[in-house]
Chains A and B, each alone.
Chain A
Amino acid sequence: MNGKVIFWFIMMFLPFLLYVDFWQWNTIYPIVFGWIPWHVFYQVLLNIAMVVIFACFCKYHWPKHNLKD
């Protein structure tokens, strides 16, 4: 595996690790926008991060094929 593949493997695997946010299990504060507890907002941010990672992955790494589209 070359460096590029390892980089994208780590980027795609990272959200799986960050999903288990044991270090802030019951961290409610700050209440974001006055209604979202922090641990929920963290998971929302993680979902948004996945959108960015997936978009970059699709643009820069998704292997091209030789079939007729």
Chain B
Amino acid sequence: MSGPAMGAMFVILLYLALTLSIGIYSGRQSAKSSEGYFLASRELGPYVMFFTLFATNISAFAYMGAPGGAYHLGVGFFGYLATTTSLAATFFYVIGYRTWLLGSKYGYVTAPQLIGKIYNSKGVAMVMLVALSVFTIAYMLCQPIGAGYVINAVTGGAVPASVGVLMVLIFITIYVFVGGLKATAYADLLQGSIMMICVILVLILVTLKLGGLSAAAQSLMTAKPELFARGNFSIEQWISFGLVISLGVPVFPQLFTKYLAAKNTNSLKTTMTLYPLAMILIYIPVLFLGAFGSIVFPGLVGKASDAIIPMLLENFYAPWIGALVLSAVIAAIMSTIASQLITTSTMLLKDLYIPYINKNLSPQREVFVGRVFILVLAVLTCYIALSPPAAILTIVTWAFTGYAVCTPAILAALYWRRSTAAAVICSVLAGEIVLVLFMLGIIPASVLGKWQACVPAIAISTLVLIVVSYLTKSGEEERRSIDEKHDFLDTIFKAENA
């Protein structure tokens, strides 16, 4: 390994070691109880909550796919990515607050458990578990390879991508295994900060070499004026994307778990309020860097532009500076995987293992079984990440729609007494079936014109929810359970608005 590559590797290892130390230190006490391990004892304060929701939500896409997209399509991508995600923050109140209230009162730990218990229905919990975990696991399996590519690039090819994947996964697994959700959340505090600081730093560094922001923008306006406009987007795509992101993001299981882990309402309030600011801080730099990259490296084709930020840094600066900034990419990947790992293992434990395999599992053994799931998922991720099958990549492409079709059912569970368990099950299944029909090409995308498949999928899941709710009637147990939860919520919401 050459000197500069060793310097870059040292920076990456230092970052990984720091993340590991923070994770282990913060989570060292949490494994003493099941709630401590899986929900950080419901003690996540405002700033930890903000950074963990931010870092969990922002994946490698923000640093690779987004600038790559801006390289080809222009900076109009900002509204498409940032505003839609900010709109999703509305649901930190709409879904998050009611979830937190019910979780605090009844001790719920996962999204399927909460929705299932509202209707006192194992069927609802199972449908939610399958719908949410399929997309989460597929997403998780595809993330680590990005870290492998980054480490391979900053070390000038000295460290193979496969070794990079292995390194990152080992570090993540150790701190998630040891400290559970609390370790994940505190590591996110570091990772979220790095993600924000580094991306602003790289914008400053690169634009300095381009003569400043105005000069770079002027060059871009002269060379590729279309990248300053929005001609590459249609209104139909804009609305479709807004719908799928704003409805899909809030029901990510890894975000749902964080709602339940909030220490108090201030945690949710602070996160909701600061979220749009964070989107500006992340997406303005990455998108302008992507567009400016088209001046420095014109003619990149397809996915080659995803590496535009590393390419710009490599072009202007020494490898160790590139490594410092590319730690942000690794941070984005690690934070997302870590949250998916702990959340998926929690769902497998609470919604599958305990209800169907071992009802009498003691709280002490819950942590042990949860850790076994973490190890199994980590090994599976390592095995699949290096060459993900095409089917998994396809599922990931459709993940946001897959989540978004669950949102009408989740909203009904939290807001609509008339809704029934049968309606919730039918709604989620109908939405996912529409998605699968489009995914397999059985319904050709051409029938939608410029609209995306998420629009009919969400419309049908909503319609089915309403129709089936009116056509079916809750049983006595189900009705009692729904009324109990809604009576509790009404004591807060009706009293406040009376």
B238, A20: Cβ atoms under 8 Å? yes
Q: 1/0 contact trace for A1-31 toward B, CB 8 Å?
A: 1101100000010011001111001101001
Which residues of A sit under 8 angstroms from B229, Cβ to Cβ? Answer: 26, 28, 37, 39
Q: 1/0 contact trace for A53-69 toward B, CB 8 Å?
A: 01101100011111101
Bound-state Cα–Cα, A32 to B101, Å: 43
B213, A34: Cβ atoms under 8 Å? yes
From A16, A28, A54, give the contact of B273 (CB < 8 A): A54
B101, A5: Cβ atoms under 8 Å? no
Bound-state Cα–Cα, A59 to B174, Å: 40
Of B79-87, B193-201, B300-308, the one contacting chain A is B79-87
B491, A66: Cβ atoms under 8 Å? yes
Given A4-B497, A51-B276, do A26 and B230 touch, yes or no (CB 8 Å)? yes
Count how many pairs of residues, one from A and one from B, have CB atoms less than 8 Å apart in the complex: 124
Chain A residues bordering chain B, tally (CB within 8 A)? 40
From A31, A35, A65, give the contact of B288 (CB < 8 A): A35
From B217, B218, B231, B493, give the contact of A63 (CB < 8 A): B493
CB of B265 within 8 Å of the partner chain: yes
CB of B264 within 8 Å of the partner chain: yes
CB of B25 within 8 Å of the partner chain: no
Which residues of B sit under 8 angstroms from A51, Cβ to Cβ? Answer: 273-274, 276-277
Q: Report the minimum CB–CB distance from A23 to chain B (whole Å).
A: 11
CB of B18 within 8 Å of the partner chain: no
Q: Please, which residue of chain A has its CB at the minimum distance from the CB of B243?
A: A16
Of B89-97, B251-259, B365-373, B468-476, the one contacting chain A is B89-97
Given A16-B246, A51-B274, A58-B269, do A35 and B217 touch, yes or no (CB 8 Å)? yes
B492, A64: Cβ atoms under 8 Å? yes
Bound-state Cα–Cα, A48 to B296, Å: 31
Bound-state Cα–Cα, A62 to B277, Å: 20
Which residues of B sit under 8 angstroms from A44, Cβ to Cβ? Answer: 78, 280, 284
A residues near B (Cβ < 8 Å) are 1-2, 4-5, 12, 15-16, 19-22, 25-26, 28, 31, 33-37, 39-40, 43-44, 46-48, 50-51, 54-55, 57-58, 62-67, 69
B residues near A (Cβ < 8 Å) are 75-76, 78-79, 82-84, 86-87, 89-90, 93, 97, 101, 104-105, 213-214, 216-218, 221, 225, 228-231, 235, 238-239, 242, 246, 263-265, 269, 272-277, 279-280, 284, 288, 491-493, 495-497
Top 6 nearest A-B pairs (CB, nearest first) are A34-B214, A63-B496, A35-B217, A43-B79, A69-B264, A58-B269
A20-B242, A50-B86 given. 14 additional CB < 8 A pairs? A1-B497, A2-B497, A15-B83, A16-B87, A16-B90, A19-B83, A19-B242, A20-B235, A28-B225, A28-B229, A35-B214, A40-B75, A55-B273, A69-B263
